[in-house]
């Protein structure tokens, strides 16, 4: 089987991760740092494109890394309307939506498809995105809420979650992802817990909207009545509450730190507050895993744990003790977003998976009786 060369590009707030792969082998990887002051000079995300591109090219030149024989450039997608999971070819419509952040979420990930296209055009290669944050495969029962006019939309670490499940299916189950059911968790700065049924991520917790377990920087699920009372007491605006959902909640709200390693050190040194916070987070993860197992009617082939905090043996031990009655628990510590992007593109090039076309139409646009 032919080996394909892939350059993966993952833009973050003040850096762009790049990795060059020859098949599954990573030949070169680097985190290209961008000066925050320089980035602030640009009025929009898309205006950062030439700056980031040129910095990447300069670094690659210094490292004597050639892109002449790259088959496909893969960007971390973003800014797109809700879509099915999979590998998508970068098109003019995708670029337009990414440039304008069609989903209303302004995040550097939207530069991923644009960067991939820039390089693909320059080197005569293909450009793709793989399982962007905009993936939405919820089944209908997971969408409805108890308030007319509000429907659930979830934002998760779709790329890592799906890649973990795909790899586990192939390497452990000797099956296709589409033949298995899993509860898959990404446990890092944000914590995603999701239910995967036969190749679709059919339910999960919206980590941008404040659902799910508490995380280092996220508040997790909180009673609406309690939150309203808290807003009144602390004189908070809606923007302040949104920050609690993503940046100032969780460990940060309680202790002022987001470093899980520091928190566990404090707990080990006898800090009971830190110990309670750590154990509460794990307890909430376990509750969410149980909920997702119920979504799958108990037919769970495995509980898969990924993300940086999975390096912590205590966390894995606690979740295994609480949840192994549901299914075997498997730990895949760390993140492999770059590997996941490359793998998705290679599956398409090898013919194992069909490339998808971005339609720009919402994958779900309401129930029939709402028309």
pLDDT in tens, 157-166: 899 999 999 9
The CA dihedral of 302, 304, 140, 366, to the nearest 10 degrees, is -160
Confidence at residue 371, expressed as pLDDT on a 0 to 100 scale: 63
Residues 212-266 pLDDT 10s:
999 999 999 999 999 999 999 999 999 999 999 988 999 999 999 999 999 999 9
Please determine, for residue 33, whether its predicted confidence score (pLDDT) is greater than 80.
yes
Confidence at residue 212, expressed as pLDDT on a 0 to 100 scale: 97
Tell me the pairing of strands 181-187 and 200-204. Answer: unpaired
Helix (H, G, I), strand (E, B) or coil at 167: helix
Confidence at residue 189, expressed as pLDDT on a 0 to 100 scale: 87
This prediction has a pTM of 0.92
Confidence at residue 208, expressed as pLDDT on a 0 to 100 scale: 85
- The average pLDDT across 192-199 equals 98
Cβ neighbours for 186, distance < 8 A, ≥ 6 positions apart: 156, 157, 160, 161, 164, 192, 306, 307, 335
Confidence at residue 104, expressed as pLDDT on a 0 to 100 scale: 84
Domains of the chain: 5-135+338-370 (3.30.420.40), 142-335 (3.30.420.40)
Residues 145-178 pLDDT 10s:
999 999 998 888 899 999 999 999 999 999 999 9
């Amino acid at each position: 089987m032919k080996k394909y060369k892939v350059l993966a590009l993952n833009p973050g707030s003040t850096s762009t991760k790049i990795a060059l792969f020859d098949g599954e082998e990573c030949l070169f990887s680097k985190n290209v740092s961008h000066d925050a002051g320089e980035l602030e000079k640009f009025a929009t995300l898309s205006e950062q494109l030439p700056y980031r591109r040129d910095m990447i090219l300069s670094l690659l030149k210094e490292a004597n890394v050639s892109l002449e024989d790259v088959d496909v450039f893969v960007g971390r997608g973003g800014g797109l309307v809700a879509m099915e999971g999979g590998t998508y070819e970068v098109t003019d419509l995708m670029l337009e939506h990414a440039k304008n952040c069609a989903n209303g979420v302004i995040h550097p990930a939207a530069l991923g498809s644009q960067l991939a296209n820039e390089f693909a055009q320059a080197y005569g290669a293909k450009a793709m995105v793989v399982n962007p944050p905009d993936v939405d495969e919820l089944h209908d029962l997971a969408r409805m809420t108890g308030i007319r006019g509000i429907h659930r939309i979830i934002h998760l670490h779709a790329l890592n979650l799906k890649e973990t499940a795909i790899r586990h299916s192939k390497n452990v189950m000797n099956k296709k992802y589409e033949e298995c059911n899993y509860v898959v968790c990404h446990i890092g700065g944000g914590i995603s817990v999701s239910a995967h049924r036969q190749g679709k991520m059919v339910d999960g917790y919206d980590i941008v909207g404040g659902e799910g377990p508490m995380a280092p920087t996220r508040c997790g699920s909180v009673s609406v009545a309690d939150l309203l009372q808290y807003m009144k007491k602390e004189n908070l605006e809606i923007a302040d509450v949104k920050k609690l959902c993503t940046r100032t909640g969780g460990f940060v709200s309680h202790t002022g730190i987001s470093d899980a390693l520091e928190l566990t050190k404090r707990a080990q040194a006898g800090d009971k507050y830190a110990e309670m916070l750590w154990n509460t987070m794990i307890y909430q993860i376990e509750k969410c895993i149980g909920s997702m197992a119920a979504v799958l009617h108990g037919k769970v082939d495995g509980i898969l744990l990924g993300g940086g905090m999975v390096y912590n043996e205590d966390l894995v031990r606690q979740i295994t003790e609480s949840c192994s009655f549901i299914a075997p628990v498997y730990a895949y510590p760390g993140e492999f977003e770059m590997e996941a992007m490359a793998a998705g593109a290679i599956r398409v090039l090898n013919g194992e998976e069909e490339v998808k076309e971005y339609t720009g139409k919402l994958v779900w646009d309401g129930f029939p009786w709402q028309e």
